Copies of this chain bind each other. A is one copy, B any other.
Amino acid sequence: MADIKSPANPLFLREDELRQGIEMLFFAYRDFTAKADQTLAQFNFGRAHHRVIYFVGRNPGMTVSDLLAILHITKQSLSRVLGQLVRQGFILQKPGSTDRRQRLLSLTDKGADLERKLTEEQRALIARAYRSAGADAVEGFRKVMLGMIEESDRRRFRPGLPR
């Protein structure tokens, strides 16, 4: 409560601090995606395929609409990669039981294998960063990240709430 603007000027809101935040996000994302991209290339897949495989793996039984709401892309864009994944046997579609218009998505065994392989690399990267930063830092990391995420998606990270 003490800080008025000038002497106790919150250091972490200085221009340079914010710029560093911007850059850290750029560099971290650049390096976070780099390894998986290599693996994906071996399958002739791209980052878009990864995102689909990832989120379907995380939310088996999700609908196409659910996926679109997460990815923030058009259904035409999604359709391209999703179609490939279905045709090549990485993802299964089955009609919804209550609403038969829906196509519920899930990974096949083959899909789950790829998902594991891809995500494992990224999990290792994060685990290393978490471990070297320590539990308190991780708590802070989560708080800041949460603040950057669109309000309606924050629920995904709050404990115990239904999806």
- Chain A interface (Cβ < 8 Å from any Cβ of B): 10-13, 15, 17-32, 34, 51, 54, 58, 72, 119, 122-123, 125-150, 153, 156-157
Find out whether the CB atom of A22 lies under 8 angstroms from the CB atom of B137.
no
Interface pairs (22), CB distance under 8 Å: A12-B130, A22-B126, A23-B58, A23-B156, A24-B142, A25-B32, A25-B145, A26-B51, A27-B145, A27-B156, A30-B72, A31-B148, A31-B150, A128-B147, A129-B146, A130-B144, A130-B147, A133-B140, A133-B144, A133-B147, A137-B140, A140-B143
Inter-chain CA distance A58–B23, complex, in Å, is: 10
Interface of A is mostly: helix
